[in-house]
Structure 1
Amino acid sequence: MKSTNLVLGMAVLALGFTSCKGEKEKEAEKTVESYVVYVDSLENLAPEDAKANWQSIEATYELKNNQAETALLDLKKSEEARVKLEASRTKYAALQAQIQAEIQAQTQAQTQAQMPNSKQQMRNALFGEGKIGEDMNFSWVNKDNILNVYQQFVNTVQANKDSYSREDWDEIKLMYEALDSRKNTVEKEGLTSSDNNKIAGLKLKFAPMYSLNRMGAKTDEMEEAKK
């Protein structure tokens, strides 16, 4: 009787073990399938949504990928499952490369859009960061600061005169004339004789510097074109 009970007990344990093993294998299959379905779902995601949520997508992918890799240990037909995993990984890698390239291109485009163009960079150097824009508005120049404005303008031109192109000199002349126009208004607002005389000296310094260097830049460009 004891022998019979022992055999029955062992049979029950074996059945329970088999049942438990079967459940673990089913869960493992579900885990692998969940990973495959997740990767497939990413292909149907709109590119803009994918880019906007890419960090979250990558975190979820890594989690499911690790879970699927662990689940292989509980599968009898692990090689078949691994083939499915590798196919999904290849699919994900292609999507990842595409999205990351688009994100990088978008970031570069935004950075370039935020950077001032060459003309604005020149305005910033000649007058101060953001003082003069496309509208060429000099209303901020008054009797108290106009001498400093001329001083910065002429000093900056002198420091960079050898690097300016003919187009740069044309832009400089345009801004110089706009500043001169503002000076005519400022003179009526109480510009002192002392500041006016100093400005006149700066103008005498600028005029020949502009003429000679613009001519030199034009000659250099013509020589370069011949080459």
Structure 2
Amino acid sequence: MKNIKLGLGIALIALGFASCKDEKQEKAQKTVDSYVTYVDSVKNVAAADLKENWKTVEAEYDRKSQEAQAALADLKDNSAATEKINASKIKYEEFRNQMATQFAPPAPSPKQQLRDALFGAGKIGDDMNFDWVNAKNIHSVYQQFVHTVEDNKDKYSREDWDEVKLMYEALDSRKNTVEKEGLTSEDNRKIAGLKIKFAPMYTVNRMGAKSEENKEAKK
């Protein structure tokens, strides 16, 4: 009798282990399937909604990806599940790259690129606000401006030179204000030297650019 009870006990324990094992595998498979489903579902979301919630999307993807990878250890034969995970991983990476391109800010216009080169990225926009130029930094602003023009004088078109002149005159206008706000005589002298350097460089190269365009037009 004792042997029968003992045998039944062992059988129940074994059945319990088997049941737990099956549940573990079933849960692992669901975890893998949940990851695959998530990747497929994200691709169907409108780009505008994705852009607004992209950080959340990425965080959820990372969580599900890690869980799916860990679940493979609980599957007796995980070859099929591994293939599914790898396929979804590739699919998501391709999708992520597409979104990165789509979400990227538009390239600045040629005019804005020129302004960024002359003053620094984002310093001068369409409002042409020079309030950030003050007595302490105006000499370095002139330096960057004149040296940038000098480095690119052979590349500028006539339209570029017109933009350069517009920006130069705006900077000069700001200098008139800054002079009353504590501009040192030393910086003023250095700026005067840069202005002397710029004037003939502008005149000669602006004329050269116009001449080149006239030649091209005749062709």
TM bracket (short chain)? 0.5 to 0.7
Alpha-carbon distance in structure 2 between the residues aligned to 1:193 and 1:86: 78
In structure 1, the residue matched to 2:90 is: 97
Tell whether the 8 Å contact from 2:34 to 2:64 is kept in structure 1 after alignment.
Answer: no
In structure 2, the residue matched to 1:38 is: 31
Alpha-carbon distance in structure 1 between the residues aligned to 2:136 and 2:80: 73
| Number of positions where the alignment pairs a residue of Structure 1 with one of Structure 2 | 202
Tell whether the 8 Å contact from 2:28 to 2:71 is kept in structure 1 after alignment.
Answer: yes
In structure 2, the residue matched to 1:21 is: 14
Higher alpha-carbon deviation: 168-177 or 45-54: 45-54
Higher Rg of the two aligned structures? 1
1:179 paired to 2:186: no
In structure 2, the residue matched to 1:76 is: none
**Amino acid corresponding to residue 91 of structure 1 in structure 2:** K
Alpha-carbon distance in structure 1 between the residues aligned to 2:157 and 2:14: 79
In structure 1, the residue matched to 2:72 is: 65
C-alpha RMSD of the superposition: 4.3
Tell whether the 8 Å contact from 1:35 to 1:64 is kept in structure 2 after alignment.
Answer: yes
User: Which runs of 5 or more structure 1 residues have no equivalent in the other structure?
Assistant: 73-81
Using a 3 Å threshold, how does the CA distance of structure 1 residues 165 and 54 change in structure 2: closer, same or farther?
A: farther
What are the residue-to-residue correspondences of 1:77-156 with 2, within 5 Å? 82=77, 85-107=78-100, 112-113=104-105, 122-128=114-120, 131-142=123-134, 146-156=138-148
Tell whether the 8 Å contact from 1:162 to 1:213 is kept in structure 2 after alignment.
Answer: yes
**Amino acid corresponding to residue 174 of structure 1 in structure 2:** L
Alpha-carbon distance in structure 1 between the residues aligned to 2:176 and 2:7: 104
Higher alpha-carbon deviation: 16-25 or 140-149: 140-149
Tell whether the 8 Å contact from 1:124 to 1:131 is kept in structure 2 after alignment.
Answer: yes
Tell whether the 8 Å contact from 1:143 to 1:187 is kept in structure 2 after alignment.
Answer: yes
Alpha-carbon distance in structure 2 between the residues aligned to 1:145 and 1:27: 72
Deviations 1:182-214 (A, max 9, x none): 345556778788876765553343233224434
Deviations 1:122-143 (A, max 9, x none): 4454335654333211234456
Alpha-carbon distance in structure 1 between the residues aligned to 2:88 and 2:185: 70
**Amino acid corresponding to residue 21 of structure 1 in structure 2:** A
SS in 2 for 1:25: helix
Identity %: 47
Q: What is the TM-score normalised by the length of structure 1?
A: 0.62
Using a 3 Å threshold, how does the CA distance of structure 1 residues 129 and 25 change in structure 2: closer, same or farther?
A: same
In structure 1, the residue matched to 2:63 is: 56
Deviations 1:148-200 (A, max 9, x none): 53343212321333454555434322211222333455567787888767655
